[in-house]
């Protein structure tokens, strides 16, 4: 737009405002209110909206916690069973190379010495696995959560020993 056109447009608006002041004032208020309401809408979230979002996030976190926390102990027991199977695999390799299983005194350290295991394995509760040889067969045991022989539930021992069949 040329400068002369702009000046003409301003003259027209001014003469309109002077000839019909109430109508012009009403239109001006309406445009101003529209601009302010648009500005308010684009400012961001109100405190109530933020509180609602936080409440929803807390409810989701609580639901996840309720679903996951009881499964942690089950996951540890499953991990101990898998670790025992991995140790059994290393013991089979040891047997294939040496012709016998390590004695109880040498234990799992002999598997680390032959580099069949990278390091001495620990159960999910941070205790060492217990290795014994009974009747020529290797027995690997984790004493469970309590770290002591025996126990029930989450404190029960986990082992590769064959349990007698229930009658």
Number of domains in the chain: 2
Sheet of 158-159: strand order equals 130-134, 137-142, 158-159
Among residues 75, 88, 74, the alpha carbon closest in space to that of 161 is found at 88
- Report yes or no on 25 lying in a domain: yes
0.75 cut: is pTM over it?
no
Residues 76, 117, single domain; the answer is yes
Structural domain of residue 29, as residue ranges?
A: 3-42
Q: What is the pLDDT of residues 82-136, one digit of tens each?
A: 999 999 999 999 999 989 899 888 888 888 888 888 899 899 999 999 999 888 8
What tokens were used for 89? 């695999």
Residues 97, 25, single domain; the answer is no
Q: What is the pLDDT of residues 133-163, one digit of tens each?
A: 888 889 999 988 888 888 888 788 899 876 5
pLDDT at 32 over 50: yes
CATH code for the domain in which residue 100 is found: 3.30.700.10
- Report yes or no on 51 lying in a domain: no
């Amino acid at each position: 737009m040329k400068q002369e056109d702009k000046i003409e447009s301003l003259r027209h608006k001014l003469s309109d405002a002077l000839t019909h002041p109430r109508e012009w004032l009403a239109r001006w208020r309406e445009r101003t209110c529209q601009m302010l309401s648009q500005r308010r809408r684009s400012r961001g979230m109100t405190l109530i909206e933020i509180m609602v979002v936080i409440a929803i996030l807390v409810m989701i976190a609580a639901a996840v916690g309720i679903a996951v926390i009881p499964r942690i102990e089950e996951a540890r027991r499953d991990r101990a069973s898998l670790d025992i199977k991995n140790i059994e695999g290393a013991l089979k390799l040891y047997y294939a190379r040496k012709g016998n299983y390590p004695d109880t005194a040498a234990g799992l350290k002999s598997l680390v010495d032959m580099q069949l295991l990278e390091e001495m394995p620990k159960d999910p509760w941070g205790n060492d696995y217990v290795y014994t040889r009974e009747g020529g067969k290797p027995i690997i045991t984790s004493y469970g959560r309590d770290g002591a022989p025996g126990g029930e539930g989450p404190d029960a021992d986990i082992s590769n020993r064959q349990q007698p069949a229930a009658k």
